Amino acid sequence: MTADLFSPITMGDIKLANRMVMAPMTRNRADEHNAPHDLNTTYYQQRATAGLIITEASQVSAEGVGYPGTPGIYRDEQVAGWRKITDAVHAGGGHIFIQLWYCGRISHPDLLPDNRTPVAPSAIRPEGEATTLEGMKAFVTPRALEMDEIAGIISQYKHAAAMAKQAGFDGVEVHAANGYLIDQFLRDGSNQRTDQYGGSVENRMRMLNEVLDAVIAVWPSNRVGIRLTPENSFNSMSDSNPLEHFRYFISHLNARNLAYIHILEGDMVSKSINIDYRVLRDGYNGLYMANNGYDKARAEASLSNGDSDFVAFGIPFLANPDLVYRYQHDLPLNDANFDTLYGGAEQGYTDYPILEQTITEPG
């Protein structure tokens, strides 16, 4: 029987009630200590009918910060804030993974301890500006990581993975996408190293493999997902041959028995799709999560064609906490307020209309 959006799916040892995933979405509403608080709890609880929630990206250390108001998962007060969220989502019948994040060159000294220079695989300054507490400022040229520094970052991922377990998450997603540190190592437009972390696809994947080894030392592999963005140019990223390079990366993830791979299909900047994602999907033996601009019809077609096993929705879940119910009954959707995406309080975050008697339904 062909799967649809509302059919259950088994992911490792977890049975998800449907194939609608709430995508990770940075909303810059953590407190001054980069900890989640009660407003964030309401936001995630409202959306617990998703088969799986992937949280907004959450830095693994103070050095990993790239934006103000983003949550972390490396201090006790952050764990306490997240614990309220995971308890609320579980009480609503949902499942929730936290996305582990290190921004690398997509940061600014104003955001880092002791005004440190951001780090990257290579000292290549990205185009554009960083968001700081004082407004937008030009990105700086990052400092290329020394070989002996990389192990310290790997240990930060391991620590964050352990803290995520304390916080009650069902699993973790390693953020290896969208121009942040791991993606900076994967793609040759940002990685021009000549040591064992650069050059060949094998070397450029080394940091990702070491992060996965560290995280899987804490979590069973089937509770670990990974997000990849083969051709996304966001954050000044590029690669000389994304199809071939990411086909290699994905094929070498097969042996890990991960919960899923989460692929942003296409370029969120140009809105174009220039590679055949079915090739990548067919090269992976596990669960494949599709993402990028999906609506109900396109998601159903993807599942029906076997192009994906489940689909992640971003803005539709932001504007419609009860998206599962609305899609089930072909009901109209709320429009997103794009003026309130980042920062602020309830407006455009927890005040979207919810249709009667939906949030209490299992999901």
* Residues known to be catalytic: 180
- Tell me the pairing of strands 9-11 and 14-16: antiparallel
DSSP-based three-state secondary structure for 311: strand
Contact 58, 71 (CB under 8 A): yes
For the chain, the 3-state helix, strand and coil shares in percent, each to the nearest 5, are 35, 15, 50
Q: Which residues, other chains included, contact 304 with Cβ-Cβ below 8 Å and sequence gap of 6+?
A: 2, 3, 4
Task: Please give the Cα distance from 94 to 183 (Å, whole number).
Answer: 29
Q: Give the residues across from 131 on adjacent strands.
A: 136
DSSP class per residue in 223-290: GEEEEE-SS--TTT---S-HHHHHHHHHHTTGGG--SEEEEE-S-TTT----S-HHHHHHT-SS-EEE
Contact 294, 308 (CB under 8 A): no
DSSP class per residue in 76-93: HHHHHHHHHHHHHHHHTT
CA distances from 351 to 29, 31, 307, 346 (A): 14, 19, 34, 6
Contact 145, 120 (CB under 8 A): yes
CA angle 227–230–235, rounded 5-degree value? 85
Task: Please give the Cα distance from 5 to 310 (Å, whole number).
Answer: 7
DSSP-based three-state secondary structure for 139: coil
Contact 211, 174 (CB under 8 A): yes
